[in-house]
Structure 1
């Protein structure tokens, strides 16, 4: 039977890759900042596999994402900041603390029997505990601690969720949709005035409000846009295939013809 490697084996492998004596030249050149793009890319590949229900390859994508954590852990150990065991310890302690309905003793092991609570109460407790944690870090403001490096759509949703938690929100999606119409009118006015900077600002307002609509509809805006991207790719590829069957390229067709082919692809989608 083939050996099944463990996390300990992965940690050993990473240490060897970073070993100055015989390690991998590429891995040895990396630092915290240089592997951030790979981390983001791997996270999106996990999301893509899940959305495509590609469970045959999901475990591989999750492994690639785990490797990013292992890489950071090795860099942290070398610099004397932290190691993998500290990452795990901090995570377990935080999750125990944030789940008092499961671990009322405050310990992972022990007598943790508790009365059942509903999901709404769990979410309320979770947000209250996270707020306490932010205050302990000196992040007293409602919007403090929302990572600046997040994708803009995701960060907008998190900022809006925080504001909603203190009552700054529309009571229903109807108010958001009315605001979208208002923002479109303001964008049209900025375009008519040929004010590029104002138009950019109004477009940002429109996108921000669309994210708010997604939040009210309980839709992840990033997932919605990724789905739209896939749909666009699929339909445009169908347009190209129709033209290639005639020995032509999209650049050979008029906009009117492209639009007709697009509508045909849309109907067949």
Structure 2
């Protein structure tokens, strides 16, 4: 089941090959090593299909062997190189930029971790209009078996949904995330509670799955260690993007009146 086509397209689109050299706009050279761009100043960017996650958290796009940067608009070109070694960087260069972030306590508000919600603003839209448009989109989003929507008198909507076949860089196997998310409606704005994770499964083979925990000792595999260190950075990045892509798509579809 694949309900987030944009995210998965970016992950699966062929990007640059290991061994290519990146010629930066200032004339310096970076090297593609596995799924990482090693920059001359020692920082690292991570390649996810046609997207490059920069050390500062911004994203660049690979278009016809050119890396288009998000702020300055300057481009870097790629040429064949000779480096073929693999380097696995720390999670810092993969940090997602959406409103929610996965931590040892589950998903939290990225900007204010003490808040258990975020606010999406829609100036000029009434509470009833926001509810109707959100419900229409969610019915489309949760149209697969296992997706459940509950609502309360046009005040709130809760979804229980599963995203499966989540690709994670560096893994042949896929991951499945089951989570619950509740939103509340007011005039001009939508309050989205931090998602509650019900389960994370790693699909190792057709008939074998492993339960993955966020942290703790009762799981064979956890995303965070008992000391809070990120053990599975690519998994954390991918799960961040599943939830944040959903929120961003919800916001876009309400604004453009698609449903």
Which structure has more RCO (C-alpha within 8 Å, separation ≥ 6)? 2
Shorter-chain TM-score bucket reads under 0.3
Compare CA radii of gyration and give the structure with the larger one: 1
Structure with a larger share of its residues in helix: 1
